[in-house]
Structure 1
Amino acid sequence: MNAPAAPAVPHMPPATLPDGAELVLRVMPMPADANANGDVFGGWIMAQVDLAGAVLPARVARGRIATVAVNQFVFKQPVSIGDLLSFYAHVERIGNTSVTVHVEVWAERNPADPQIVKVTEANLTYVAITDDGKPRTIPR
């Protein structure tokens, strides 16, 4: 017996997603993540960016890492409850002990008339650390 065909997914409008970046996290903010204006807290978005940003440096460092700098953080558009956020990251620089990544956050919104918009972007630096929290050399 054949399974029924999956329903067609509506076509999303074209968006220029980040070249060479990897999808590292996808999440939908919930009502508890909103501020008094009904927009999602900037701090909640920053926390998600830090989680997403750590994925590639952890792979590069092959172990424990810690955030050492938020070099740039730009909120381009507000984020609303119900937006589906996709976090794309790519490595900008690998140093002796640190890895710098660029993260872009895109929102899929308005299911009745779908749109994809860039809402946030950031550059963060992570350092490879030992079990006791000291910087360590990144394996090559």
Structure 2
Amino acid sequence: MMQGNNHPKGKLILRTLAMPADTNPDGDIFGGWIMAQMDIAGGIMAREKTCSRIVTVAVESITFIKPVHVGDVVCCYGEVVKIGTTSITINLEVWVKPSLNRPSREELKFQVTKAAFTYVAVDHSGRKQVIQRDCVC
């Protein structure tokens, strides 16, 4: 997805509020906190699609487009792009509904981050297992 697109791709998986405890010394939300929210959202979607325990194995080309501020509503959207024998890749986007306290609220919602997360299905011993494509959980 290119910057400037005004619609998220995929399904809304997670919404949360950016809080003061998640900021760097300049008052912006830490990129690592954003990545954690993306991993949580991707993990939820991967589990729903595989009906199994999953683990994160890769994050490709994460791009931070705009900063996130305290009070912003952070929305994670996801879309499955590939399901292999044991792995699933999900494109994730983070969009923000800006806080009412922002000095400039030109946009009602805008994209701040994007990345592809890959998860592997594992059994209870942590060994890779085949994804059951027809599962319902």
| TM-score (normalizing by structure 1) | 0.84
Q: 1:18 aligned to 2:8?
A: yes
- 1:17 and 1:134 mapped to 2: Cα distance? 38
Question: What is the Cα deviation at residue 111 of structure 1?
Answer: 2.7
Q: Which residue does the alignment assign to 1:124?
A: 117
Matched, 1:27 2:16: yes
Q: Tell me how large the CA RMSD over aligned residues is.
A: 1.4
> Once the two structures are aligned, what percentage of the paired residues are identical?
42
Q: Which runs of 5+ in 2 are unaligned?
A: none
Are 1:51 and 2:44 counterparts?
no
Structure 1: distance between partners of 2:67 and 2:17: 14
Hey, what's the Cα distance between the residues in 1 that align with 2:76 and 2:118? 16
User: Structure 1: where are the runs of 5+ without partners?
Assistant: 1-14
For residues 73-112 of structure 1, the aligned pairs below 5 Å read 73-111=62-100
How far did residue 18 of structure 1 move? 2.5
2:18 & 2:24 partners in 1: Cα distance?
12
Give the SS at the match of 2:119: strand
TM-score, normalisation: structure 2: 0.86
| Contact 1:72/1:124 (8 A) holds in 2 | no
| Alpha-carbon distance between aligned partners in 2 of 1:43 and 1:111, rounded to the nearest angstrom | 24
What whole-Å deviation, never above 9, does each CA across 1:74-107 have from its counterpart, x for those lacking one?
A: 0000000011011110100000000000011110
Q: Distance in 1 between matches of 2:108 and 2:48?
A: 32
Runs of 4+ in 1 over 6 A off after TM superposition: none
- Write the letter of the residue equivalent to 1:120: T
Q: How many aligned residue pairs are there?
A: 125
Structure 1 Cα separation of the partners of residues 47 and 95 of structure 2: 22
Q: How far apart are the structure 2 equivalents of 1:121 and 1:53?
A: 12
Aligned counterpart in structure 2 of residue 62 of structure 1, from 45, 51, 68: 51
Amino acid at match of 1:132: S
